[in-house]
Amino acid sequence: MNDRTFRPIALSNPFRRWFAPPRRDIDRLSPQPGDRVTDLGAGVGYYAEEVLARIGASGHLTLVDINGPNLARFARRHGPDPRLGVLVGSAAAVPQIPSESQHRVLLANVLCDVVDKTGVLDETWRILRPGGTVFASFHWNDSPSPSRPLRMTAEKWTALKARHSWEEVGQGHGRGIHWHILRKAS
Residue type, 97: I
Task: Summarize pLDDT for 39-56 with one digit per residue, the tens.
Answer: 999 999 999 999 999 999
Average pLDDT over residues 126-139: 95
Average pLDDT, the chain: 87
Least confident of 11-20, 48-57, 177-186: 11-20
Q: Name the class of domain 3-184.
A: alpha beta
Task: Summarize pLDDT for 160-179 with one digit per residue, the tens.
Answer: 999 999 999 999 988 778 89
Average pLDDT over residues 109-133: 94
- In angstroms, the Cα distances linking 59 to 32, 38, 52, 82, 85 are 8, 11, 8, 10, 11
Question: Do the Cβ atoms of 186 and 128 come closer than 8 Å?
Answer: no
Confidence of residue 12 (pLDDT cuts 50, 70, 90): low
The rounded Cα 79 to chain-centroid distance in angstroms is 21
Q: Which of the given ranges, 5-14, 137-146, 157-166, has the highest pLDDT on average?
A: 157-166
Q: Which of the given ranges, 6-20, 76-90, 142-156, has the highest pLDDT on average?
A: 76-90
Tell me the backbone φ, ψ of residue 53, rounded to 5 degrees: -65, -30
Q: What is the pTM of this model?
A: 0.86
Predicted local distance difference test score (pLDDT) of residue 2 = 38
Nearest to 174 by CA among 52, 19, 22: 19
Rounded CA separation 62/87 (Å): 7
Query: What are the residue boundaries of the structural domains of the chain, listed by start?
Result: 3-184
